[in-house]
Amino acid sequence: MMVFRRLSPPFKSTPARAAALSLALSAVCWSAQAQTSSAMQAAQPDTATSAVPLVLPATGSATPEARPADLARAREIWQRANERVAEFPRGHVDLLRWEAKNPGDAPSAPASNAKPATLDLAQALRLSLRQRPDLFTRAGMNALEQGAVQVAYAKHVRELQRAWVDAVAARQRWRHATEVWDATRTGSELGRRMVVAGNWSQAKLMREQLTQASAWQAAVEAQGDAFQAQEQLAQMLGLWESAAVEQLGERLPTSLPAVPPRATPGAGITEATLEAAVLRGHPLLALQRTKAAREFAAVNAGRRQAWNDAVEASLAALPDPGTTPTPPHIADLSLLRDHALERSTRAEADLLRAASERRSMARQAWANLQARHASALHAQTVVAQLHTALEQETLLRYNGMLQSSWELLASARERMQSLDAALQARRDYWRAHADLQALLAGADYAGPDSPSNAGAGSANAPAGH
């Protein structure tokens, strides 16, 4: 009794005091965990992190340019402009680009820090798995549990690969759109100067300004797409600090991997063995096959034949198409009350349906991969090279004074748009590749994406002269 009195608290315990003590202990425990747990910090509203502002390109101007007041003033401006243009090999185009790189008294941009290490797919996968403990197999799991984890893991790998490919492609497309916008800005500035010199009309300048405005809109949309793709990848990687998400864009490669010269189903897999590899890759299908074999062996051949005959008779009695749909009917109660026969027929039907689906998925995924591969190679080796050769030919004719600056700028825009089309075709190939690899690992086929229209960029692009 004396021992009890010495260990007793000096105050009387009440429910209110107990609740307060529990709350204080919880706060202390949370504070200690928050120092080491990124998840606790991210979920705490008081954790300070500021959003990074979206820096958009400067818009053009729709204000009409003032023309020279008299002929003498116009001649003076025209002569000075031509003397300045003559200092550059490609005339107006080189002059404007030189001025853009040498802004005179404009403050110089601060030196950027060293670029962080590139985040490849393998590193991204490891980083994402830290947030997915449910995708780890554990000791003591049975075959069914391990198979479910395997299928979920294959789906996760596919979605991560798609997110990584989309983020890399979106940033590269943003750069292409910015280059197109820069080319249209050059044309607009050239037109403005020609209006000031008095040898161009306001209508022609407005057309160039509209071209620049369309290119600006495309560049802003590409920047927004790149931002969204980067955020989707950041979510899968568990990045929550705005600075870390912004740095993610700098860590991504500047371009997607090159398309291989030949499309293959996978290492050690041929077209003849693809379906077999897909069937073997599904961990739950083997369990389903074992179950079906066990149920099938429990029923003798005579009973199975009687069931098949009843099914054929029921199907033959179906009404003709166009009448009221009526499901087939089996009236033999001896067959219907045979539970072993029922389990056998259901297991066999389920197995056939699952195997047919997997084999169909294999054919679809392989066909889609071949089509995307051919499209990517065509856009890269045919369309893009033709536009590059055309731009070089236009430059030669421009230097020979056979074509104008406007045709040279338009040719440059078309080449950059063809590069963007090749980029989208390459992205589609790598997404199709991720789909097939996930199918081989046990996931279902996600289905083909709508292919990027190689002409969409040209159709939506700003028109030139």
Domain boundaries, the chain: 117-282+345-460
Residue 28 has a pLDDT of 37
Residues 68, 56: Cα–Cα separation, whole Å: 34
Residue 351 has a pLDDT of 93
Show pLDDT as tens, one digit a residue, over the chain (465 residues). Answer: 333 333 333 434 454 554 444 444 344 343 434 445 666 665 656 666 665 666 766 666 555 555 555 545 555 544 554 544 444 344 444 434 444 454 444 334 444 556 778 899 999 999 999 989 999 999 999 999 999 999 999 999 999 999 999 999 999 999 988 888 887 887 777 777 777 766 667 787 788 788 888 889 889 999 999 999 999 999 999 998 888 888 898 999 999 999 999 999 988 999 999 999 999 999 889 889 999 999 989 999 999 899 999 999 998 888 888 788 889 899 889 888 999 999 999 999 999 999 999 999 999 999 999 999 999 888 878 776 766 666 666 555 555 554 566 666 666 677 777 778 888 899 999 999 999 999 999 999 987 765 554 434 433 444 444
For the record, the structure tokens of 226 come out as: 């790149």
Residue 371 has a pLDDT of 94
Residues 357, 444: Cα–Cα separation, whole Å: 9
- Residues 433 and 369: beta-carbon distance below 8 Å: yes
Domain 117-282+345-460: assigned CATH number: 1.20.1600.10
Contacts of 285 (CB under 8 A, 6+ apart): 279, 354, 355, 358
Residue 195 has a pLDDT of 72
Contacts of 448 (CB under 8 A, 6+ apart): 364, 368, 432
Residue 212 has a pLDDT of 82
Backbone angles phi, psi at 110, to 5 degrees: -65, 145
- Residues 431 and 162: beta-carbon distance below 8 Å: yes
Residue 120 has a pLDDT of 93
- Residues 232 and 167: beta-carbon distance below 8 Å: yes
